Structure formats: C-alpha cells, structure tokens
A and B are shown apart, each in its own frame.
Chain A
C-alpha cells in the first residue's frame, strides 16, 4: 500500500521541519514540506494529504504571542480546508510552536477553528529553556499514543512559552473528556508542578492535549528529537527498547493507513 502522505506545514521561522519529516520517514510515512504560501495560492491542497503536522520553530518570530501570527493567517485564509481536514477524521499533530498554533486556532481543545479556550503562556521561569523532561502518558483515546498509556517518556522540551493555562471549567471539561495526553512528571511517573521537572509551571502539569476525538494532538516537548538512540543525552549509559518519540509518529502513520 502507498505510504501515507504527510503535510509538514512550514512558514517564516519554522525550524523543526527537517527532523519532523525524518521522524515520519522512520515511521513509514512520506513527508512533504509545504509552505503556507502554497496552500494560500492553491498550488497545494490539504485534501491531498493523510496527516498534517505543524512542526516547532518561531513562526513569524512568535511576535505578539507564540504561534499567534500563523494562527491568525490560518484562521483567515485556510479555515475551511483545515476544518474539513479535521472533520474528515485525519490526524493533526502540533509540536511545540505547532501546539501553540493549534491552541490559538481553536483546533485544540475543541477541534473548532476560532474557539480559543486555552493558552500557552510564558514559562514561570521567564525564559526559554532546553532540557529533557519526563512525561507520563495518560489513558486517553488519543490515536497518537495507542499502547503507551502509563508509560513514562523522556523527551526534550525547548521553549519559552509552554505554560498550559485555562479557566477551571475548561480544565474540568478536558480532564473529564480525557483530553490530557501528557503530563510533566518525575522520573518515576508522578505528575509534578515542581521546577525543573515541570519546566514551565503548566496547570495540572499538562504537557500535551488532544481534541475530543483524539485525532488532533498538541504537545510542547519534541518527540521528533528522539527517534534515534544517539539523540538521547545519555544513550551511552542507558538502554532503550526503542527511542521514546518514535511510537507517536508510528501510531499516526498506522492510523492513516487504517483510514
């Protein structure tokens, strides 16, 4: 069967597109770098793809709010295409800046463009930080984490605006809806608010959430940075059955195959 086609959406300031493409290749997908201009001009259409990923970076310099300028652009010009892509049940992944974009379009947590209920604020530390963090995978219907529930993943976080925040009722909703996919944790998997394990002060230690269907996922840490063994800072002293980021991409590709 033909490899699932992955749209790796780029724009000015996107900078994790190469390694994200590589991760999807490793997982059996066929990634294509697509500039937002190509979608706006009609030269490219989302309908031609099975998976959409918005990679990390500093889209438009993260001016005003991280991911905001791109979110406004997508909402202004590509709302129909995006909503259609999501409604048709195709998986969407946002990593770091991509997560910020999904939150600021409304695709997370409610899968509805323009319905902005949550945010990612500046880290409590007030600064960009790059460090490996432990993530507990919650038991959800998220298609990206099938078979991972209860696992503790070690991934790199690298951001300055990653503090998940929302009002109490929305938090209650996403908790009740089992939309919290990843929580910052200690090495033994205990969710924590303590710095630096929780690198940004996220509410309820939330590192990643999905939409009610489980097909739209956003997370701050970078799974694409741990799909090869030697990408882990301690690969010389630790053994891994497989690099912790790989399963997320493989699940997406497998799901796209089933569709």
Chain B
C-alpha cells in the first residue's frame, strides 16, 4: 500500500526552539562551530490514504496555519546545507502513532492502516563537514539502540512476521562447557545453578522448553532473586547471616507501631491519618539508562510508579523522587570507555526521561539530587522513587484464590525489554550495547495514566483481590509470583500483541511497559472490564489461578511451560559467598590555609556536588496535584533550596507527608560503614530540618554496588551493618529496599571501572499539621544564627574542600548515633514549638554552603564568628551530617531551647548582602552574595543552557 508523507515546520520568520536547543548542544556539548543554524520539521507518514485525505489531515490536525507550513510528498527544508531525518527503529513503539490513528479516525478518514512520525533536521553553515554531521548524529541525535537515520521512504510501516516456535533445549545431555555457553550473555546463571536446573529436568525425565529455561533464569536472576543479599557470607573468614535477613530482622525487632507492611509488597506501607496509609518504593534503572538514557529513565519511572499502583489493592501515586550519579559533564571524551555514553548526554537525557514520564502522568517530582564522580563514567546510577496514598483497609498485599482470574490491563506486548531482568544483573561490558539492545524501550506515560485511573476505580469498587505490575521478567515474573501459593494456568495466545512474530517465550518474558495484572474473582470480572472500557484501557483475561501449585503455560494447544512452583521459587541453590574488607591505604593531607578565602568559598559553592540543581527541578512539574507545601526551591527569589518536600495529599487537610533522602558515594570509597551512616543520617536530617518527627519516619534502602567480588562484598557487608546499627540506635525501620550489584565495567582491554559504592537512603514520614514546618530561607535581618549538633572538625575526608585540593583523605565523619538522635529530637521540638524561623542541615560544602544557601533564599547576608582556636577552613567546610543551622528571633534563648544539646550562636543575619566571617575580631572574608550565588548557579545553568535565567533574574516581592 502506498505511503503519503506530510512534512510540517514553523514559518521561517518564527523561532524553532527544538532547533535552537540542538544548536546549543552542538556548540557547547560537541564544540562544533561550523553549524550556524538548525531548523527542524516533523515528518508524518500515513499508509493507505490518498493525497486528498492527506491534505485534510495536514490542515485539520498536523499543521496550524497560524504559525506553520506543510508539504505533501515533498521536502520542506530546502535551503539547508544538510538535511537529516531521524526516526525510531521499526519495532520500537512510537507513542505518537496511536494518537495519529485516533485523530485520523475521529476526522472520518478511512482506509488508514498505519501511521508514524519522525523528525527532520536542517543544518545551516557553509563550512559544515560530513565529519561534523557524523559526530552530531552519533553523539547527539541518534541513539542507535532505538533510533536510525532514514535514508529513503519506507515501503511499508507495518511490522509483521511469523509467530516463532517453541524449542526444546537438550539440557539433560549438556556438558558443563555447553551449560555455561547457554548461560553466557543470556541467562547469567552460574554453573551450580545450571546444574540444579539440569538435575530437575533429569529427574522429571524430559528436556526443558526455551520458555522454561528463560522462566527459571529470570526468576533466579540477581535482579529478582537477590542471590547476594540472601547468600550466607564468610567475611574475613567469619560466617555472618545473609544481608537481607539482617536488615529485615532489625526492622522486625524495632516493631514500629506505624508500619503496616514491610518488605512483602511492591512497596513499604506506613500509617497516615484518617484511615489512610502512605507507601514508598525506590528503584534503580542503571543498566538501561546507561545505553539509552531517555527510554531507560522513562521506564524506570514507569516501573516504580507501577510498584506504587500495585501496592495493596491499588494506590494513588502522589510523589516522585530522582537521585542520579554521573561523571562530571565536562569529562574529556577520550576518558569515556568504549560502549559507554558521555555524561553530558546521559545527564540531559535522563532528566528528560524522568521529566516526560512524571509530568505526563501528573505526578509531582519534588525531591532529588545529582552526584558527580568520574568513576560513574562507565555506568551511571539512576535512582527513581515513588510514593502513594491508599486506604488502610486496602493496604495489605492481596492473595489470589483458586478460581480467580488473572486480567492483564494496559499496554500491548512486543519484543521490548527481553532479558531486562537477567541483563540488569549482568556486568556492563563493551559488548553490552550490541548484545542487549533489546533491553530498552520508549515509555508511554499516557498509557500508564489510563491504567492508573482504572486501577483506582477498580480498587474503590472493591474489585481487586490482588494486583502486581509487569516489570522485570514480564508475565513470567508477575504470574509466577502471584500464583506461587496456588498455582496458575496461563493461555498465552490471548495476550494482545503490538505486532506478530514473537516466539511464545518472548511473549512470556517480554517487559513491555504499562502493563499490570489484576487477580479478580469471576463474579467481579464484568465490572472490572467495564471500568477499563470506559477509560480506554485494554483488558484481557489471561490466566486462572489453580490449586496444584504448578506454573502451566500453553500457547494454542501446545504446553510450553509446566514447572513446579516449589522448584521455581525455592530450587535456587543458596550461595555461600566470601567477603574481605580492609581499610584502604589512605592518608589525610596537610593543607595550608586558603590564601584567598573569597575564591575558595566560591569554588566550594561551584563544586558539582554543591551547586544549584535548579535548572533540573524547573523541568519537573512539582506543583501538580496541588499538594506541595514545601517546594524544592523557595525564598524571595525562589532559588533557595529546601531540605525535603512536604506534601498535603488530602486537599483541605493539614496532614502532611515528608519525603527526603541522603547519599554520599565517595565516603563509601573510604569506609562504607561510616559512609552509610552518613547517608542515613543525612536523609533523616533533611526531613527533621523541615519539621519531621524522628519518631514517625521510615526508611528505604537502595544499594547500588560494583559487582560483588570479595572486596566489594566486604564493603557491602559493612554498609548493611551500618544500616542495622542505625535502625537499632534510632528506632527507624527500613520497610522497603532494593539492590543492584552490577556496577562494574570490564573493557576488552582488561580495563575495570568500579563505581564508588552507593547507598541511597530514602525517608518518608507523617506530620499532623503542615503549619508546624519550616523552610531553609532566612526570614529577615538581625536574627540569630545557631549551629546545633556535634562535629569533629578534623573529620574532613571525602569533603568537597579536600576534593578541590585533590585529596580524598582517610579520617571521615564518624556519626555518633546517640548524639544525633538527641539532636533530631531537639530540632523537632524547637520547630514544633515555633521557635525556629528557618532551618537547614549541613551536608556537602559544609556549614559555609548551608549558610550561603539560607542567605540566597532570604536575600539577606550573614555575619558569623568562628570560635578562637578552631581551624577556620575546617570549621566552614566540615561535612558532618546531623548538624543544623537554625535561624531564631533575637528574643529567643537558644541555651534554653537547645538545653542539653551541643550548640553555639554563630552570629546574625544582616541587611548587608554578603557573608562575613570573623575569628577573634579579625575578618577572614566578606563575600558578596551575588558572587557566591553566581558560582553556585553557573555549573548546571551551563549544562542545561539557562544562563540567561541566572543573569536576568529579578528578585520578586
């Protein structure tokens, strides 16, 4: 059938922001100056319609006469030196295609069989070389994993193929070498595990199907099976309990009264108020984001949102958080290993992915951070969290009953994310890109929004017995887990497909996004289907829960999987792993005092781990749902950062949810025990700084670690010990967690890059009255500035100050949990009793950075004096977590309010817009706020092209 092409572009005299953004990247990210201008056009293709119909589409749908021109079957950018069209690869679902089909139908256009869209770029400039274009396409516009350059008009837009067949794997007769060859790059199982599978099939006297092997591989994958966290450990020769057991037992021992569900459901649940509960889940999506950051980040967000939607009998997602670790955006390109993408590109594309998914779902993204270290250059850490609201009576994990039906709702199934689960468990290598390209797809947030609406409606109608999302492992994982205690019988041919040509095992394992499985009792089926119809959500009865504890899957008449649930879920051989840890050989530097304090102060503010991340936050809709009561940035000019987000999710009620997090990867390079204590302390301090009650906070852990060799596993063991000690000392339980233990890169040249181990601790809690919370911006001049908390100033290792001098150091902050617990109580009490005007916790950049940020927010200066005898640079730049800067009215009595806590009055806020630091009467420095703010705002503004906002910002009232 013939294809009509319609090209649309803005009138030449009007701006083309998409083109200008590409031009900015070409100049700033790639340093190519031969390109003087970039214009873009949309290209639409329709199969099965004539030119008359095309004209109607162009005028009624595609091109707006007010500002655009269009052509039919003709080029539209005709005056550029080079014109290139970039499109998704066939098979990568273009989210726009469905909308094109719908609108055409609504316009009464018949005969249309397929539609697609893509983008055309026109590059202007007489001196553009073909090499320039090559670089622009390769590094900026075309991610070969999902995109391609269109060289000629396609013959058809339809994707077709013959349904593949199920194959029998002659496993029983395989040698060890053959077993491992089968496992390599595909199953990621070790020999012992392959033996267990071989033995199972030898006992039942037949060879497995490809479907059965794949099912076992993904159920037993590190990603789903958490083999390392469940393994018995030998640490420096001494046997220790499995990591997961230790964490869960610590939580159980605390027996926190507000915890309603911990470690059993898709997210952890705590009690809120008035019959409501709050749930939280934090996920990582490192591997996909490393090879296709936009799609990877999108599907990461989509996945964690579905974890919330799939908690209890369905929850409403009320917040999203994002924590990233990258190499510095200015890392020299030659330092980036083969097969890896440049951090400048990764950062921008990951942010775009999180932005587009959260914003379109209507979920406020209002807490997050970005950390930079060059050893993330091979594999970034991409952490996305989500939080939800659900009624207490529907907050516990449901259990399907024999006879219940499994209904899949949402997106169709394609060859997306095959091997996502096993892939994310494998190490990143130079071969990763080619071998696992299929592990990424482009998310479809509107599909997921529809599903979310349907889940809420079905939950409110009481139709959901149990629900889970189709994440890693697809149906195999979702149905395998839901049916573990009963057994389940699946009719795979019923699965709605995006296109023909999938093998049964691919349908079974596919990780196509935006799908959820609901267990419903037969009498409720029709009402569930009706709700879905009303919301344009496709729903299909896929399976029935049985009572034989078997996983039986048929495709048409053929049985392609028949496994014993017991073996599937408990046949995995328990690993015994050995770990070693010893303090790395590090030393503290002997630094002389800064010669130029102003310059040093500005350098600290401009350090990538201190600088403002506002350009990122502005791209996230943090106000949707009308619930935000403490925004990421506030103050006079709305550019002063806050420590945590405060939400009032029940509109009209003052009941509040507090959400924050903490991490500091570089400290784990020195000692993962104290690095992890720091992360947990920082997370809680962020929440307490805005007014949270430390007695009503719960925790979520995310371990993102290098591949667990003996050394890394030793560090992991210490990190878990730190978490357990933290729970015991503070009484705050971990109620959800996730581990991703594959962040090691191995190049074919033998190059090995391990990330600095990441423990990200997320915190959420409740507050009865949002009015008893504070922000970080100073509220006026002439107020007291009080430092609360205990610091050992010599503990400078891992600080930004040391990093700027080129050192890591050895003596890192060792948080005293007993002391910090008392400090939190004191800060909370002071805020609750409304004695605090502003509060900010101390983290990267130290007291100096915290002070400057409070000044930015309040548009006031500060004068502080450092106690005699203290080393002033350490006093200003020490990064011990669990310490706070507090603004109080001059009439307040800090010695009364903070009686029994280590605290000191540092000085006062001032009308003079500068930070003035004195010691023993002599002035160390007086730095204008404008200089500090400029240094602090510039780095990210440069990356995201918002320097104009930094310069042209007028201070509001």
Contact = CB atoms under 8 A, between A and B. Distances in A.
Contact of B362 (A16, A122, A187): A16
Contact of A72 (B107, B362, B948): B107
A80 to B, nearest CB: 15
B646 to A, nearest CB: 9
B78 interface: no
Contact of A158 (B17, B623, B648): B623
Contacts of A73: 102-103, 106
Contact of A58 (B102, B359, B626): B359
A69 B103 contact: yes
A144 to B, nearest CB: 19
Contacts of A213: none
B954 A187 contact: yes
Given A61-B446, A116-B64, A128 B20 contact: no
Given A19-B651, A37-B534, A119 B359 contact: no
Interface string B277-303: 000000000000000000000000000
A158 B630 CA distance: 17
B414 interface: no
A191 B898 CA distance: 48
A41 B633 CA distance: 45
A69 B99 contact: yes
Interface in B615-643: 617-631, 633-636, 638
Interface stretch (B81-89, B774-782, B800-808): B774-782
Given A22-B626, A196-B953, A234-B634, A118 B15 contact: no
Interface stretch (A82-90, A130-138, A175-183, A247-255): A130-138
Which 10 A/B pairs are nearest by Cβ-Cβ distance? A15-B362, A19-B626, A126-B17, A63-B99, A126-B21, A187-B956, A61-B446, A233-B631, A58-B360, A119-B66
A235 B106 CA distance: 46
B362 A165 contact: no
Contacts of A104: 64
A196 B631 contact: no
Contact of B95 (A61, A131, A188, A224): A61
B634 A233 contact: yes
A57 B362 CA distance: 7
A117 B633 CA distance: 38
Contacts of A188: 957
B27 to A, nearest CB: 14
A250 to B, nearest CB: 16
A166 B108 CA distance: 29
Given A61-B95, A122-B18, A228-B652, A15 B449 contact: yes
Contacts of B106: 69, 72-73, 76-77
B331 interface: no
A130 B623 contact: yes
A73 B103 CA distance: 7
Nearest to A20: B626
B264 interface: no
Contacts of A236: 634, 774-775, 779
A68 to B, nearest CB: 7
A224 B651 CA distance: 11
Interface in A36-64: 37-38, 56-58, 60-64
A242 interface: no
Interface string A214-236: 00000000101101101101111
Interface residues on A, range: 35 or more
Contacts of A14: 362
A258 interface: no
A119 B362 contact: no
Nearest to B648: A230
Contacts of A165: 14, 66-67
Contacts of B446: 12-13, 58, 60-61
Contact of B96 (A58, A64, A72, A76): A64
B651 A128 contact: no
A125 B624 contact: no
Contacts of B886: none
A212 to B, nearest CB: 19
Given A64-B99, A236-B774, A186 B626 contact: no
Interface of B: 10, 14-15, 17-18, 20-21, 60-62, 64-67, 95-96, 99-100, 102-103, 106-108, 117, 355, 359-362, 444-446, 449-450, 534-536, 617-631, 633-636, 638, 648, 651-652, 654, 770-771, 774-775, 777, 779, 946, 948-949, 952-954, 956-957
A212 B60 CA distance: 24
Contact of A61 (B96, B630, B636): B96
Nearest to A134: B956
Interface in A1-52: 12-16, 18-19, 22-23, 26, 35, 37-38
Given A116-B64, A187-B956, A130 B619 contact: yes
Contact of A130 (B362, B450, B620): B620
A251 B191 CA distance: 73
B449 A13 contact: yes
A133 to B, nearest CB: 10
Contact of A60 (B60, B99, B635, B952): B99
Nearest to B105: A76
A158 B622 CA distance: 9
Interface of A: 12-16, 18-19, 22-23, 26, 35, 37-38, 56-58, 60-65, 68-69, 72-73, 76-77, 104, 116-119, 121-132, 134, 156, 158, 165-167, 186-188, 194-197, 201, 222, 224-225, 227-228, 230-231, 233-237
A129 B946 CA distance: 11
B102 A60 contact: yes
Given A12-B535, A18-B625, 4 more contacts: A22-B626, A57-B362, A73-B103, A158-B621
B100 A63 contact: yes
Contacts of B618: 129-131
Nearest to A127: B619
Nearest to A40: B106
6 contacts: A19-B627, A56-B624, A76-B107, A127-B619, A158-B623, A222-B623
B17 A125 contact: yes
Contact of A65 (B18, B64, B775): B64
A251 B287 CA distance: 52
Contact of B360 (A19, A38, A61, A225): A61
| Centre residue among B21, B359, B775 by max chain A CB count within 10 A | B359
Contact of A68 (B61, B624, B636): B61
Nearest to A59: B446
A76 B108 contact: yes
A134 B450 CA distance: 34
B67 A129 contact: no
Interface centre among A64, A167, A231 (most CB of B within 10 A): A64
A197 B636 CA distance: 14
A65 B64 CA distance: 9
Nearest to B24: A126
Contacts of B21: 126-127
A35 B449 CA distance: 14
Given A35-B534, A125-B17, A19 B625 contact: yes
Nearest to B64: A119
Given A18-B651, A72-B103, A35 B626 contact: no
B625 to A, nearest CB: 6
B449 A129 contact: no
A69 B17 CA distance: 22
Listed residue (B67, B535, B633) with the most chain A CB atoms within 10 angstroms of its CB: B67
B624 to A, nearest CB: 6
Given A64-B62, A224-B626, A131 B770 contact: no
B410 to A, nearest CB: 12
B103 A68 contact: yes
Contacts of B536: 12, 37
Given A128-B359, A194-B952, A228-B652, A61 B625 contact: no
A121 B67 CA distance: 8
Contacts of B65: 116
Nearest to B8: A64
